[in-house]
Chain A
Amino acid sequence: MLNRQLILLATPRHIGMLDWRPGHLHWLGQHAANAAGMATFAQLVARHAHLPAVIIVDSVDEDYRGEVLPHVQGAARTALVARKLKQSFRNAQFAGAWRQARETTGRRDDRYLFAALTDHEWLVPWLAVLQREGVPLAGIAPMAIACQHLLARLHVAEPHVLMACRLHDSLRLSYYQDGMLRFSRLIPGETPTQLRGEAADEIAKTQLYLTGQRILPRDARLHVLLLDPTAQLDTAYAALTADPAFSVRRIEVTELARTLHIPDDFLLATPETVPLAAIAGKALPLNLAPTALLQRHVEYRWRRTLHAVAGCVALAGLAATAVLWLRAESLKDDIYQLDTQTRQLDVRYQAVARTFPRQDIAPEQLALTVGVAQALERPGPAVLALMTALGTALDGAPNVVLEQLHWAAGDALADNTATIRIDATLASFDGNYRAAMQRIEHFMQTLASVPSLHAVQLRSSPVDTGPDARLAGKTQAAGAAPGQAVRFSVDLLYREDAP
């Protein structure tokens, strides 16, 4: 529905209307250029005023000029084209330019085709109806442009093509170079049979004209396409086939119908629809309508674009909202299921927990408490064994008198060790410190020889012979009574032997 449009075929004698949308054609009839025809046309237009319209004009009052202009762009091109149009068609209101190609050599100029309706008086009443009804007019194009689209649809590959199209008892000859319109003329016929014999002559004349105007290269062979749904150009076909200057091809109705996707009977009943169906939905490369007439179509296009934008925005918003809402609903379903599962798990846990004995602490803490208690209850160093070990050493040193014994269990619960400090004195000290130190050393060796005693160290010595210490005393005569007590301390480590 978005591409639906009205395609009007306007001639000085009548106007036809085609309601087109992709894959669908509806011929709305032909209206003569008189009061009755104008009235029915107005009624019909009023009913289809919301559709954009394209007018295909088919008139003898056409003028085509090919020009090569310097390559410019933007406003300069617009001004250049406008100036050239004014020069070429001084008073023509319906004129247009088509920039067809760019030269590949030289200055690489642009090649233009300028076209105009030199007499447009017959068109004005039809346009007035359209304007009055507010129809958005998309453009006005000559019939030759519609035939160019037909050429493209037929996939004609020849570089120089002359299409002879017979419609409304008239013969239109249009020359296309490389698929683009270069020249067109309409030969009107007063009677249906008038043009039958003259068609071949008109084609030959046209070839001479094109060659003379250097539009058609001299050595080019013209490929003539005969488009005649009513089969009135058979005579011309025979004549042209015999002429070696031409290659001729007749386009059959069945081929046309297949190409344009139109039923054969519809095509035979309304041959006017052939060029209209070919150009339907296509952009107009050559638009003869003045800008003022296109204003409603500009509005129409903006309106349609804005409607599309609004629709897209609304659809996108709706889609995003739907996606998010569905996501939320899905999450809610998941939450419900999760809650159900959680309740079921809680019920099962409660069933298990009811079997637990009543305790103030958690089961993990209960096990930990037992573990800690077991660690604390591991036996420490045996006091009796410790004393026995020390006693063994003291028995071997009768001159050592024990003053104080201190032992402390090790910090670690795992090993049964104890640090021991022994404060003792030497009995019968005679003032000979060397002998005293030897006795202490002997005592320490005795301690170290006991298997469970280790790391025997002298903590404090009875005499400090270091260079930094002050040392004073007095010697005694041999055989003198024992003097001052000689005190010393020893540190050692007790470790119970493994059983």
Chain B
Amino acid sequence: MKLAATDLPVLKPFRATPIAPSGLAAPMILSAGLVAGVAILFAASLAVAQATGPAPRDGAVTILLRWAPLIFQGFLFNLLISVLSMALGTAVGVLFGIGQVSPSAIMRKPSWAATQFFRNAPWLVLLFYAMFLLPFEVRLGPVTIAFPAWVKAIIGLALPVAANVSEIVRGGIRSIPSGQWESAEALAFTRRQTMWMIILPQAVKRMLPPWMNLYAILTMATTLISVVGIQDGLTITRAALVAESRPELMLPMYLMLLLMFFAYCYPIARLTMALERRFNVKG
């Protein structure tokens, strides 16, 4: 039986405007605009400082340029601390992470407890903890290892890093489908073989974005060492401001330091986002 075609007008569906046309994940053009915007802000504050400064003294730009190399050196020290701390924290954290998924309770419970404890403690308090409670030198027989303040700081920052890496590793391992564990078991692989040959190689890709994110957070946290008396970029910025004692310089000087961190961390953030997208697509 043939259906008669209707000649009533078909109602078109109502197209609501998209909820979140996200300009936040926008392409390169906006990114360049963002950088330009920040640069303009910086330049503007500099110009204001230059204009409002008393005439016979040095211009704001000269002062900034004079201090910039020193502040940059301080900033590089921050980066050094971040790299060393990340390395130490990752090494320890991986072990804790694997311990957290172990079937034996003796491995699992302490790993879990340590991870939770160091994750929930503020980074600054842990830093204080390490600074105050680690000895200033350790004697192993004839050898004396000195623990200068910055080494203690590295250890202090490595603690929360290890806890977060442990969580990342645990999440990565658990995200591997159980079918992989099952088929490895059916092929009589031992648990250690399964973990190191089959599960971890697959999990590493997924762990990379949160790990890089953690590194960015750590880099920014290295400024905390200025609070416990170690010379870093922030300390030098403050010292510079005190030395010059010109209040209108505060804005551009802090902005300069902020810009240095931004210039380092923002590319890392974008790289992380790109990696995340790539791994999500592949599945």
- Asked if A and B bind, the verdict is no
Spell out A's residues near B (CB within 8 Å): none
